[in-house]
């Protein structure tokens, strides 16, 4: 399957976003860059919203979001129904985020990890498969909680 990703970052994540894009280019993975496009200060919820909505609408297979810590941008993305954004700073968690949680967005903190590890985390996330079974039941319960709040 040819993957299509949505990628975005705030000013703190801008440089790491560029490094991840270079890595995706090398791997021949298609993506759309939702910004930001410089290190000028901006607000991570704006980027999180645009990427999360595009992923939720099925325009992209997965999203990658980066801010300073990865915390704010993942919190914001998770406000969009149907989004399961996972903040990962190690390859084990990135693999489990797909295998167990069926995460559809990977979040990382550019002030926490370096470029090499970030690219390995992206690879682990993208190569893992959702295992379903008992994990599907749990993901369904997450969405039941989401729907309780209508």
Ligand X SMILES: O=C(CO)[C@H](O)[C@H](O)COP(=O)(O)O
Q: Does 143 show up as a binding residue in the annotation?
A: no
Structure tokens at 143: 């969405």
Residues forming the site for ligand X (CB under 6 A): 10, 12, 41, 44, 67-69, 71-72
Residues 6+ apart with CB under 8 A from 29: 3, 5, 126
- Using the structure block, give the residue that is written with the tokens 């993942």: 74
Single out the catalytic residue among 42, 67, 88, 119: 67
143 is a catalytic site residue: no
Q: Does 134 show up as a binding residue in the annotation?
A: yes
We find the least distance from the C-beta atom of residue 14 to ligand X, in angstroms, to be 10
**Stated length of the chain:** 150
Single out the catalytic residue among 23, 89, 100, 135: 100
β-pair type (85-87, 62-67): unpaired
Q: Does 91 show up as a binding residue in the annotation?
A: no
Cα angle value 33/120/2 (rounded, 5°): 55
We find the least distance from the C-beta atom of residue 78 to ligand X, in angstroms, to be 13
Q: Which is nearer to ligand X, 18 or 61 (CB)?
A: 18
Q: Does 138 show up as a binding residue in the annotation?
A: yes
We find the least distance from the C-beta atom of residue 119 to ligand X, in angstroms, to be 20
For residue 8, CA distances in Å to 46, 81, 146, 148, 150 come to 10, 18, 24, 29, 28
Q: Which is nearer to ligand X, 63 or 68 (CB)?
A: 68
Binding site feature residues for D-ribulose 5-phosphate: 10-11, 68-72, 101, 111, 134, 138
The catalytic site residues sit at 67, 100
């Amino acid at each position: 399957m040819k993957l299509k990703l949505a990628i975005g970052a705030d000013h703190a994540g801008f440089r790491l976003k560029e490094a991840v894009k270079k890595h995706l280019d090398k791997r021949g993975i298609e993506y759309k860059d939702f910004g930001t496009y410089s290190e000028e200060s901006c607000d991570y919820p704006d980027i999180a919203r645009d990427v999360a909505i595009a992923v939720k609408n099925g325009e992209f297979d997965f999203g990658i979001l980066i801010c300073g810590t990865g915390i704010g941008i993942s919190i914001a993305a998770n406000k969009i129904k149907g989004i399961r954004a996972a903040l990962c700073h190690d390859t084990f968690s990135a693999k489990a985020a797909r295998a167990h949680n069926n995460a559809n967005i990977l979040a990382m903190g550019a002030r926490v990890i370096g470029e090499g590890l970030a690219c390995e985390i992206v690879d682990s996330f993208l190569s893992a498969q959702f295992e379903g079974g008992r994990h599907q039941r749990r993901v369904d319960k997450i969405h039941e909680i989401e729907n309780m709040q209508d």
